[in-house]
Amino acid sequence: MDHPVLEAFWMMLWFFLWIMWLFLLFRIVGDLFRDHELSGWWKALWLFGLLVLPFLGVLLYLIVRGRSMTERSVRSAQEKEQQFQAYVRQAAASEQSAGGDSVEQLSKLSELKRNGDLSQAEFDQAKARLLA
């Protein structure tokens, strides 16, 4: 008897496993080229093994270099986070200094207007120039 539901299940399972294997393969190749400690010959040998014996090559790579692969990934994520935090601090500092200057100047302008040293038109013109 033919069971189309069972055949569809097996086809989906094999397709899912194939997609998982592709993700692992791309992750491993990316890890190979990101690793600065591994020599070019070892990278070429691993890549050759992944191309000639793809399933066995992926499994061997995960067994032999899986732990260091995770460590490199964590280190890379921490470096990116530090760079992002430094960028945010730099952007916030430049924005604060630029914003502080314009706030200071606006308060001086309003003081001059209040004292009668500036007319409303002059105040509006100087304010527009500051905010532009």
Give the whole-number percent of the chain exceeding pLDDT 70: 94
Average pLDDT for the chain: 87
Judge whether residue 62 has pLDDT over 60. yes
Beta strands of 13-74 (E only): which ranges?
none
- Number of helices followed by number of strands (H, E) in the chain: 4, 0
pLDDT for 22 equals 93
**Does position 98 have pLDDT exceeding 70, yes or no?**
no
Tell me: pLDDT of 1 over 60. no
This prediction's pTM: 0.58
Task: Look at residue 128 in the predicted model and tell me its pLDDT.
Answer: 83
- For residue 116, what is the DSSP state? T
CA distance 14 to 91: 49
